[in-house]
Structure 1
Amino acid sequence: MTVEDLWWRWVDRLEDRGWGARAMLRPPAGDDVIAAAGEVVGAFPDELAALYRIADGQLETRHVDGPWTNLFPGHEFLSLAGARRAWQGWADIRAAYAPADFDGMITVRGDDPVHRVYTRAPWWPLAEDGGGNHLMVDLDPPPGGTVGQVLVAGPDEDERRVLAPGIGAYLAALLDADLDPPDADQLADGVAWWDAPGLR
């Protein structure tokens, strides 16, 4: 099944549970915009590029009529421009710190094939939780890993863990996640966050 098929199945599942996912979507990104963003990390894996060809992230709350919601567990799907800003923020940290300042506190879950470091240039921020933590797409994993695997990094995330070997596999896992519907208070507040803790 293609990333496009999986994505629309995922959006439909959110819709079916009462989360207004379709209203969140930004228009697709053009190939030139995707290529320019990908140059920051060398090039995007095919599945990541395919996702941006469907939607260039999600709209900000001020651009949504009705309740806003996230499209990944506890995380907002970043536009290419937003992801580039987040990547630059991580680059600024790398320029300012010595590895000993942060890397010593980082652990790796079990045998997950991920570098035990605080931040790396080949990690592309796919989604953000609002507190500086990101779902990352790993463009340069260690032996045993997969280019394009989805992992977690951030100031509140000392444990590096691989959520899925790629975007397609991550979307497939999301389709199996338990999702509660939003409650009336969330909808009335205009921001309705949902979560699937095992997938973030």
Structure 2
Amino acid sequence: MSNALQALSTLERFLAADHLELLADLNPPASESEIHAFESRLKLRFPADFIACYRIHNGQRGRSKRLFQGKEWLSLQNIDLDWSTWEDLQKGGDFKDSPSRPDAQIREGWWRSGWVPFTSDGGGTHICLDLDPAATGTYGQVIKIFHDMPHRQYLAADFGSWLSLQVESITTGL
């Protein structure tokens, strides 16, 4: 079992014991056709551990507390909406005069099409899969982007590592 699936299983057990409202806020699995359509629409190949988690829970419904440090775990539909919004802003030239300050593993840019937001604070700050990393980065690394600040922050080498850290934080802090 991958790190991501182990972490998700630990999270489910923890939520089932004492946080049923959060457990109930997790969506049912994304279907294979939803996953395929999502990857086709974004024209990106997603890491296996990321897709494996969405085969168990398609993010949150968004009717309860935000699961990851004040950020909602986005469904594939909401990822697509947020990603499309960033893409539209980029294509419209909104970021042409917006230099960023990325950590070394992250390519320069206010927004890149290979950044896929999978959490949101509702105000423009996202945790993203980076499917277009710098030469010193790793495909599928996890980064944090801000809508109004230039820093692009490296968080973890992969989704499973990031999720494991989040679950550890949740299970010791909720």
Q: TM-score range by the shorter chain?
A: 0.7 to 0.9
Partner deviation per Cα, 1:167-193 (whole Å, 9 max, x = no partner) = 110122123327434xxxxxxxxxxxx
Structure 2: how far apart are the matches of 1:163 and 1:41?
A: 24
Q: CA deviation at 1:98?
A: 6.3
Q: Measured at CA, do residues 74 and 92 of structure 1 come closer, stay the same or move farther in structure 2, by a change above 3 Å?
A: same
Task: State the distance in 1 between where 2:136 and 2:19 align.
Answer: 38
Query: 1:41–1:124: 8 Å Cα contact kept in structure 2?
Result: no
Deviates more, 1:172-181 or 1:124-133: 172-181
Identity between Structure 1 and Structure 2 (%): 30
Amino acid paired to 2:81? R
Which residue does 2:77 correspond to in 1? 81
> Which ranges in structure 1 are unaligned for 5 or more consecutive residues?
62-67, 182-200
TM-score calculated relative to the size of structure 1: 0.77
Match of 2:38 in 1: 37
Name the CA distance, whole Å, in 2 between partners of 1:127 and 1:180.
Answer: 19
Cα displacement (A) at 1:99: 5.2
Q: Which residue of 2 aligns with 1:25?
A: 26
CA-to-partner distance for each residue in 1:44-75, whole Å, 9 max, x for gaps?
A: 111111111011110132xxxxxx11121221
Aligned residue type for 1:72: F
Mapping of 1:1-200 within 5 angstroms? 1-2=1-2, 3-13=4-14, 18=19, 20-39=21-40, 40-61=42-63, 68-97=64-93, 100-102=96-98, 104=99, 106-109=100-103, 112-177=104-169, 179-181=172-174
Aligned structure 1 segments of 4 or more residues deviating by more than 6 angstroms: none
Deviation at 1:10, TM superposition (A): 2.6
Task: Name the CA distance, whole Å, in 2 between partners of 1:137 and 1:117.
Answer: 15
Q: Is the 8 A contact 1:4 1:51 kept in 2?
A: yes
Q: Is the 8 A contact 1:150 1:164 kept in 2?
A: yes
Give, in angstroms, the shift of residue 88 of structure 1: 0.6
Please tell me whether the aligned partners of residues 124 and 146 of structure 2 are also in contact (alpha carbons under 8 angstroms): yes
SS of 2:127 mapped into structure 1: strand
User: Is the contact between residue 133 and residue 153 of structure 1 (CA under 8 Å) also seen in structure 2?
Assistant: yes
Give the counterpart letter for 1:49 in structure 2: I
The letter for the 2-side match of 1:90 is W
1:136 deviation in Å?
A: 0.6
For residue 113 of structure 1, what is the amino acid of its counterpart? Q
Q: Which AA in structure 1 matches 2:48?
A: D
Give the number of equivalent residue pairs.
171
CA–CA distance in structure 2, aligned partners of residues 146 and 41 of structure 1: 19
CA separation of 1:169 and 1:97: change in aligned 2, threshold 3 A: same
Matched letter for residue 88 of structure 1:
S
Amino acid at match of 1:122: G
Cα displacement string for residues 115-172 of structure 1 (whole angstroms, at most 9, x for unaligned residues) = 1211000111101101021111111111121111111112134211111111110122
